Structure 1
Amino acid sequence: MAEGVVSIVVPGLSNPIIQELKFLDGVGDKIEIGQTQLQIMQGYLKDADARQGRNEAIRIWVASVRDAAYDLEDVIETYVLKVAFKRKPNIGSDIEKITTKISQLSSIMPSLNLHQTRESGGDTYFQRQQERRIAYPHIVDSHVVGLAPGTEILATHLIKEKGPRVVSIWGMPGLGKTTLAKQVYHHGEVKRQFDCFAWVCVSQQCQGREVLKEILTKLISPTNEQRQKIEDLGKDQIAEWLWNTQRERKCLVVLDDIWTSDAWSSLQAGFPMNEQTGSRILLTTRNKEVTSYADKNGFLFEPQSLNDDESWELFEKIAMFETKDHKIYEHKNELGTEMLQHCKGLPLAITVLAGILARKDTVDEWNTVHKNVYAYIRRGIDLGPNYKVSYDNLPYYLKLCFLYLAHFPEDYEIPVSTLTKLWMAEGFISSALVEVMEDVSYMCLSELVGRCMVQVGKHGMSKKIKTCHLHDLMRDLCMLKAKEENFLHIINYSAAVEIKQTSNGRVRRLAIKTIEAYCPGRDENYGHNSKALRSLLRDFTLLRVLKFEGMNVSKFKLPNEIGNLVHLRFLSVKNGHIQAVPSSIANLVCLQTLDLRNHCWEIKIPNRNVFSKMEKLRHIYLPFRPSGGEKRLLFATEAVNLHTVVNIYIQASSDLYDFVKLTNIRKLGVICGGEEKEKGTNIIFKHLHSLSVDSRFKGLPIPWNIVLSCPKICKLRLHGEITELPEDLLCLRNLTKLTLSGFGNLKDDHIKVLEKLPSLRMLFASVGIFQASLVCSEGGFPFLEFLSLYSLLEFKEWKVEKGAMPSLCRLHIEYCPDLEAVPDGLQYITTLKELTIKRMLSEFCSRLGEGGEDFYKIQHVQSVIITNISPNRPG
């Protein structure tokens, strides 16, 4: 990982403030020499990183380079901050030690023969890996489960007369991509459709000429004379011959396990991609980018993990066999079912586990495997050729992002918005001036997903990834590489001991896990132990990330020592019982993200200027109930990259004038503390995507002038006294998600505004007296996909006309005790796939059951979930 570290550190040495170091005797020259030497070494570090696992000397050298780069970054940043605080730093001797070490490491480099490694040795290693992964099309797997639907879908696209030129199978290692491709390759209709066939396994280091030669040879079945001619041809001539062959005949070429877009680029000259031909390409890959690069109009198929029944069917075919002893069979059945849970539906893992058990006859042997099942699976799959090469093939910045996921617990759904901010705080993300760092960070996540290193959890309504997680096998790889690279150290911490004594001094990231909470970061998570926190703040002054969330101690004040952590980029004390932050928090001038959200307690903020020096601030989440909220908080005028401001307390819309000047602001959350007296407002937020307005504590009406000053918002959340919905809301043409909470005396004509919103896809209506009639007219809510109705009292009348809500997929109804029945018009909404009923009266629910009065309205819905049924009212 030295390549990634050096790639982050070297650009930072160009900071203009560092030029002041030239006035220190010889120090400026030493930094320039160290910077130059790091840049030179950077060209060889990718080879060194890949080879260190097989050469102890290189491993030690790589670790030393990484540590020296980190040390130089630390001392330079300390200097920059001291200059910013108008202090006179004395760091000449520290820099000299580090740059001397870098010079020594540079002088050692030739002896490591890294030039030779790049030119020859590396190829041999990857060839060995390729040999272990190679798949032969004539060897058809005897145990195949769950592939029939995918086989038919793929075969249909391949044999279409005007079908896609390229058909792709994309997924993580072990998902059965190659097995599925074989099924398609031997499909009867496919065999009849094409004249000639070629199957090639594309190595990680793709040799374009050799692959094209192999394809051509398999397609034309050459004579000895033609073979010799092919051997004598250059790549361009082979490509032309292959091109013409596919134009003249119907050819099916399978490119199995193609890794990169560059690999496709080295082959595409041999394929007539821009002409109408009967030839087709079927490719398998673990990198989604390859599929669109090969053919943006191609067909992409992603195999899914096996479900429980399919998993058992595959397992049973391999591992289980008939025995006269019924008890033994049942015992094995029980053990096998439990062990299968560790496979998570991955065919390779199931096959490996079943293969191991097939050689174990007794129940005792099965019990032995059961006790260490995951170790058996990992050993059988071998994280080396199947997974490590995926990691080695990542660019350095993605390696850093991937390793950072080792912080998170097993099976944890990682919030993407938090993860991308943490990557930014660590310095993993850089961007050009035209790019927003948040967008670059999200693209890094998308690329990891595209390479099957990370799995998607949930999508938001904008189709962006909302949560993600690691498959168990990928998490094993992540933990293994993080340990190898000394990237992260994880310890369990419960006693009130000095943190400094528990950690290795060379560890850059320390994850300390407790029962109370989990908080990832560069150094992190100390439960509710205040002594541990003070130790952290005193001893770890170079911290960049600190998440100290969910603390259970009441009346706790964040220690004044927090101001010592001047290197912090990310600080979160969310959902704790912290009642005050000290004035020393103003020292945290490097902060990018500050999260003080707390729904239970007031948090005292010392003065209105506390954030005024935080010029690098991008995301700030203020306490939900700020103490002394009447004070207008001031932010740094230079904080031009301020992206998120949540829970800002205002007395009037004029308090928002300062934020209008910040053109990068995307998300704004406002808490209203005074009734809006202005009828209109001159403020316009041209760039805002998300707005939240909360006026519930003062019992105030919604300040519509603020809402209407944000013409491009996509998400709007209103919480307060909602007594009207003005027609002017229809000007919000980009609004896709609307949350309304706190109804009172709303009129029927106000409700009609909602169904006319041109882009609305999600509507949450909750809490309050809802006496208006909800009428969904024909053609109303044209794009609404999700509707939630929660805790609406006196809500009785709901009518859905035929043709209303033609896109509705999900409907949630919870605790609306006065609603007697679902509307008749639901029967016409054929797109409705999921209906959830919760905490509704027994009478209401019984009408929806099979044979009930309202069953005909929802019988077409695939998933109907009715839970927490309430008893009927007396009488």
Structure 2
Amino acid sequence: MNWDFVDFCPSATSYMNGTETSIVAFKRKPNILTWFTGIFIKGVNLHRIGSDIKKITTEISQLSLIIPSFNLHQTRESGGDTFFQRQQERRIAYPHIVDPHVVGLARGTEILATHLIKEKGPRVVSIWGMGGLGKTTLAKQVYHHGDVKRHFNCFAWVCISQQCQAREVLEEILTKLISPTNEQRQEIAKLKIDQIAERLWNTQRERKCLVVLDDIWTSDAWISLQAGFPINEETESRILLTTRNKEVISYADKKGFLFEPQSLNDDESWELFEKRAMYGMENTNPKIYEQKKELGMEMLQHCKGLPLAITVLAGLLNRKDTVDEWTTVHKNIDAYIRRGTDLGSNSIGEGYEGVSWWLELSYDSLSYHLKLCFLHLAHFPEDYEIPVSTLTKLWMAEGFISFAPAKEMEDVSYRCLSELVGRCMVQVGKHGSSKKIKTCRLHDLMRDLCTLKAKEGNFLHIINYYAAAEIKPTPTDRVRRLAIYLDDTVDAYSPGKDENYGHVRSLLYFGHHYCMDSKVLRSLFKNFTLLRVLKFEIMYGREFKLPDEVGNLVHIRFLSLKDSLIKAVPSSIANLVCLHTLDLRSRNRCIKIPNRNVFSKMEKLRHIYLPSGHNARDKRLLFATEAMNLHTVVNFGIQAFDLDDFVKLTNLRKLGVIIFDGGEKKEKGTNIVFKHLQSLLVDSHLEDLAIPWNIVLSCPNIYKLGLRGKITELPKDLMCLRNLTKLTLREFGNLKDDHIKVLEKLPSLRMLFALSGNFPAHLICSKGGFPFLEFLSLYWLNFKEWKVEKGAMPSLCKLHIALCFGLEALPDGLQYITTLKELTIKEVPSEFCRRLGEGGEDFYKIQHVQSVIITNIGA
């Protein structure tokens, strides 16, 4: 299937060709009725096109859900059984067959067994993880655990899989729990589904039953079964379920216990591999054994700790006796792991043994738009930490979220990512201060599937300069998306006209500090006029002006030139009226923007990042009055206390303002309330101004606040910011004792960063202060003594201190903060280090901390 997304504008023009001609003819006549008729006809046609596109997209989405069940690529007949039926049979796990070679499951087995037999414990205990992680194997270990067998008196294990037939499943569970006679079986077979559900429900209330629902895929499957389970009743029966989809767990029991198995570490991976692939080889030729061991350990690196991948590889090698055969597998290791068979094999089981088949089941279950979002992840290099903020904006620019209302596109885009995470297809990297996902990544084997599917559908073409051998020739088909991986040895690459890239809609560059100049950019802007997405970041070399040809990109929705050396932006940038996201944050702080009206025609603008230049007055820019969906404005210059420029931008979620002195310091805009704003940065240090608190207090729901500039007061109204979890203070001058008392009473503060300023000479954190603070970072601060009273900072987990030369010693009170797990102290005198070392007079203060890193000034 080709995943080229419809280019709506050209298609619409082609579709209405005749109508467009008639409209031009009408315009030549001064008949106003005819003119309005033409406009009406054009509007009707546009509406019809939009309806047709929406209908087609919906049908594709529905078809994409059922096509995998037909397996059109591999339909085969054998003895009356369809390929799909055999596929289902392959996935059934038989509870009486227990794998003798299990590694790394002991801890998880004990935890799960304990929760299942706990008095008044959770009704539902869940195992959640990606395909191949060993969920079913772990469930079997729990199912046969001695304490579990003794605790329950009725057991049932059913494999749900993707095609859940509710009546059959409920009947199977009931039959296994009550062990009916033949006569009772016949009676049950005649019951309706509601009668079976009621009898199953009563059975679990009256007895101690353990029901294992293995491989349940969707919340709909659970909903169809839930009438048979007394989840909200007092009962000693329990449910153990395994799933790849976290949504299922929230439907089954929000108060239940969730266990997420982890990938195996290197030692565990080798232990599992050795048991399966090298069992009994110890007595063979030692030299051959060592050669196989070396090859095996190298091949294990490609499995990334996934038990299924290790088992597949071990099973394949276990059938190969010679070192040469192992070497052959080693040369094409990725392909062997994906397929699980010898390359070129035409065996009946081909496609079942490998990792790709198991992971592809997750892909097949995705809706149409989620498949697009998943395939888009193939753009990013291996092990790349993907910023979620950028990713969701890219999805929006590509049109993957076009079904969502305009105001909700960011939220829907994030929910799409969350669903991919919930389905174990995407891994979480870091969480932000508001607990939302900040970065994400793909497991290597899931990325293999992603790139394979992207290639099959001509969704994306990758030019990889990281490894010259991976550079692929120019594709013969029209490619819509192009990703280019550059290393330090390659200048920025610009495909030429003869390379069949004229239809590219998306162009993303990846690399560290690659060389760029205006000539290459000019070439891009001339040859890729249909671009919707251009990510061209971290360019180094000489400073350059952004070429005038940027105005050719009239279809562009996402343009990022972040961390480049651009010194000026041309007035032609005003032509980019389709822009959703514009990122001009530059390493050159003096970037010149032509005039204050340059963005006034960009009605679709949602996110704009300006450089943090020192001339804030030049950045007091005007936005289109129709740009009501502006969510992000960063590094926008405003006169002190003046919020007039933002009166109509009440949907803002992230705002960064640079304060300049306009002479008049009358507070304005105090009645403006930005109820949707989540992140606020106020920078007043360039003109040595005090922080204007009216701006801060106009944002009652912010999660993150950054202040750079003099703090002459800390108003008590700051405590009204009930959601504030992260606070950064930078170049703040002198804080006083009463300022600290306000800070430590902030109701939700979890992260505090203080950089380049002066604390009170004798800093005191009082009892009960900073009740929820988890991370405290003190950098380049001037204070002498620090006292932490017992009961202060009771939730602190991480403490980082650097370049605080005046600090004489750590406070005694740290010994009472039992939650402290990580302490990092950098650039302190040698004597300071000695006192904190084991045996030193201050060691008692930190001896309970798990991770301690201390470096002195000379280190």
Q: What band does the TM-score fall into relative to the shorter chain?
A: 0.7 to 0.9
Is the Cα contact below 8 Å between 2:697 and 2:717 reproduced in 1?
yes
The aligned counterpart of 1:393 is 365
Shift of 1:327: 5.5
* Shift in alpha-carbon separation, 1:589–1:372, aligned structure 2, 3 A: same
Work out the CA distance in 1 between the residues paired with 2:172 and 2:707: 64
Residue 256 (str. 1) matches residue 214 (str. 2): yes
For 1:490, the aligned partner's letter is: I
Work out the CA distance in 2 between the residues paired with 1:384 and 1:630: 55
Is the Cα contact below 8 Å between 2:516 and 2:540 reproduced in 1?
no
Is the Cα contact below 8 Å between 2:492 and 2:516 reproduced in 1?
no
The aligned counterpart of 2:444 is 472
* Shift in alpha-carbon separation, 1:237–1:750, aligned structure 2, 3 A: closer
The aligned counterpart of 1:542 is 530
* Shift in alpha-carbon separation, 1:326–1:814, aligned structure 2, 3 A: farther
The aligned counterpart of 2:646 is 659
Shift of 1:818: 2.5
Work out the CA distance in 2 between the residues paired with 1:676 and 1:345: 63
Bigger shift: 224-233 or 331-340? 331-340
The aligned counterpart of 2:434 is 462
Aligned with residue 125 of structure 2, among 167, 177, 191? 167
The aligned counterpart of 1:820 is 808
Work out the CA distance in 2 between the residues paired with 1:716 and 1:391: 39
Work out the CA distance in 1 between the residues paired with 2:60 and 2:718: 56
The aligned counterpart of 1:429 is 401
Is the Cα contact below 8 Å between 1:3 and 1:46 reproduced in 2?
no
* Shift in alpha-carbon separation, 1:734–1:681, aligned structure 2, 3 A: farther
The aligned counterpart of 1:650 is 638
Is the Cα contact below 8 Å between 1:3 and 1:396 reproduced in 2?
no
* Shift in alpha-carbon separation, 1:648–1:462, aligned structure 2, 3 A: same
SS in 2 for 1:457: strand
Aligned with residue 695 of structure 1, among 645, 664, 684? 684
Residue 412 (str. 1) matches residue 384 (str. 2): yes
For 1:156, the aligned partner's letter is: T
SS in 1 for 2:161: coil
Residue 669 (str. 1) matches residue 656 (str. 2): yes
The aligned counterpart of 1:356 is 316
For 2:422, the aligned partner's letter is: G
SS in 1 for 2:801: strand
Residue 403 (str. 1) matches residue 375 (str. 2): yes
For 1:554, the aligned partner's letter is: R
For 2:508, the aligned partner's letter is: E
Work out the CA distance in 2 between the residues paired with 1:275 and 1:676: 69
Aligned with residue 340 of structure 1, among 291, 295, 300? 300
Q: CA offsets, 1:12-70, max 9 Å, x none?
A: 979xx9997595599969878877766665565357657889999x99xxxxxxxxxxx
Aligned with residue 259 of structure 2, among 296, 301, 306? 301
Is the Cα contact below 8 Å between 2:217 and 2:244 reproduced in 1?
yes
Work out the CA distance in 1 between the residues paired with 2:4 and 2:419: 17
The aligned counterpart of 2:336 is 376
Work out the CA distance in 1 between the residues paired with 2:477 and 2:658: 44
* Shift in alpha-carbon separation, 1:425–1:186, aligned structure 2, 3 A: same
Shift of 1:732: 3.0
Aligned 1:61-72 pairs, distance under 5 A: none
For 1:258, the aligned partner's letter is: I
The aligned counterpart of 2:245 is 287
Q: Which has the higher helix share?
A: 1
Work out the CA distance in 1 between the residues paired with 2:69 and 2:290: 46
The aligned counterpart of 2:410 is 438
Work out the CA distance in 1 between the residues paired with 2:360 and 2:755: 49
Work out the CA distance in 1 between the residues paired with 2:393 and 2:480: 18
Is the Cα contact below 8 Å between 2:132 and 2:355 reproduced in 1?
no
For 1:372, the aligned partner's letter is: N
The aligned counterpart of 2:89 is 131
Work out the CA distance in 2 between the residues paired with 1:360 and 1:574: 52
Residue 715 (str. 1) matches residue 704 (str. 2): yes
Aligned with residue 486 of structure 2, among 514, 518, 523? 514
Shift of 1:862: 1.7
Is the Cα contact below 8 Å between 2:652 and 2:674 reproduced in 1?
no
The aligned counterpart of 1:523 is 507
Work out the CA distance in 2 between the residues paired with 1:378 and 1:257: 21
Shift of 1:715: 1.3
TM-score after normalising by structure 2? 0.86
Is the Cα contact below 8 Å between 1:745 and 1:772 reproduced in 2?
no
Work out the CA distance in 1 between the residues paired with 2:251 and 2:302: 35
Shift of 1:143: 1.1
Work out the CA distance in 1 between the residues paired with 2:706 and 2:272: 48
Aligned with residue 209 of structure 1, among 167, 170, 176? 167
Shift of 1:770: 4.4
Work out the CA distance in 2 between the residues paired with 1:31 and 1:641: 23
Aligned 1:7-18 pairs, distance under 5 A: none
Shift of 1:504: 5.2
TM-score after normalising by structure 1? 0.84
Q: CA offsets, 1:598-633, max 9 Å, x none?
A: 133421111110000011111110011166844631
Shift of 1:425: 1.0
The aligned counterpart of 1:858 is 846
SS in 1 for 2:431: coil
Work out the CA distance in 2 between the residues paired with 1:738 and 1:521: 40
For 1:567, the aligned partner's letter is: H
Percent identical among aligned pairs is 72
The aligned counterpart of 1:45 is 60
* Shift in alpha-carbon separation, 1:518–1:134, aligned structure 2, 3 A: farther
Work out the CA distance in 2 between the residues paired with 1:237 and 1:536: 68
The aligned counterpart of 1:84 is none
Shift of 1:360: 4.4
* Shift in alpha-carbon separation, 1:264–1:771, aligned structure 2, 3 A: closer
* Shift in alpha-carbon separation, 1:842–1:310, aligned structure 2, 3 A: farther
Q: CA offsets, 1:676-695, max 9 Å, x none?
A: 75254443333222111122
Residue 218 (str. 1) matches residue 176 (str. 2): yes
Aligned with residue 421 of structure 2, among 444, 449, 469? 449
Work out the CA distance in 1 between the residues paired with 2:524 and 2:476: 14
Bigger shift: 156-165 or 470-479? 156-165
SS in 1 for 2:241: strand
Aligned residues: 801
Work out the CA distance in 2 between the residues paired with 1:19 and 1:852: 88
Shift of 1:309: 2.9
Task: Give the alignment's Cα RMSD to 1 decimal.
Answer: 3.5
Shift of 1:860: 1.1
Q: CA offsets, 1:496-541, max 9 Å, x none?
A: xxx9x95656222122222259999822329535444323222222
Residue 800 (str. 1) matches residue 788 (str. 2): yes
SS in 2 for 1:425: helix
Work out the CA distance in 2 between the residues paired with 1:274 and 1:9: 50
The aligned counterpart of 2:30 is none
Shift of 1:344: 2.0
Residue 782 (str. 1) matches residue 740 (str. 2): no
Residue 322 (str. 1) matches residue 282 (str. 2): yes
For 1:668, the aligned partner's letter is: L
Shift of 1:294: 1.5
* Shift in alpha-carbon separation, 1:222–1:865, aligned structure 2, 3 A: same
Work out the CA distance in 1 between the residues paired with 2:247 and 2:70: 33
Work out the CA distance in 2 between the residues paired with 1:435 and 1:164: 39
Bigger shift: 657-666 or 376-385? 376-385
Work out the CA distance in 1 between the residues paired with 2:68 and 2:146: 46
Work out the CA distance in 1 between the residues paired with 2:614 and 2:416: 35
Q: CA offsets, 1:70-95, max 9 Å, x none?
A: xxxxxxxxxxxxxxxxxxxxxxxxxx
Shift of 1:772: 2.9
Residue 271 (str. 1) matches residue 229 (str. 2): yes
Shift of 1:2: 6.9
SS in 1 for 2:806: coil
* Shift in alpha-carbon separation, 1:345–1:575, aligned structure 2, 3 A: same
For 1:859, the aligned partner's letter is: Q
Bigger shift: 504-513 or 284-293? 504-513
* Shift in alpha-carbon separation, 1:732–1:248, aligned structure 2, 3 A: closer
Q: CA offsets, 1:828-847, max 9 Å, x none?
A: 00111111222333322232
* Shift in alpha-carbon separation, 1:211–1:384, aligned structure 2, 3 A: farther
The answer for unaligned runs of 5 or more in structure 2 is 26-37, 76-80, 341-352, 494-503
* Shift in alpha-carbon separation, 1:808–1:53, aligned structure 2, 3 A: closer
The aligned counterpart of 2:762 is 773
Is the Cα contact below 8 Å between 2:710 and 2:731 reproduced in 1?
yes
For 2:856, the aligned partner's letter is: I
Residue 551 (str. 1) matches residue 539 (str. 2): yes
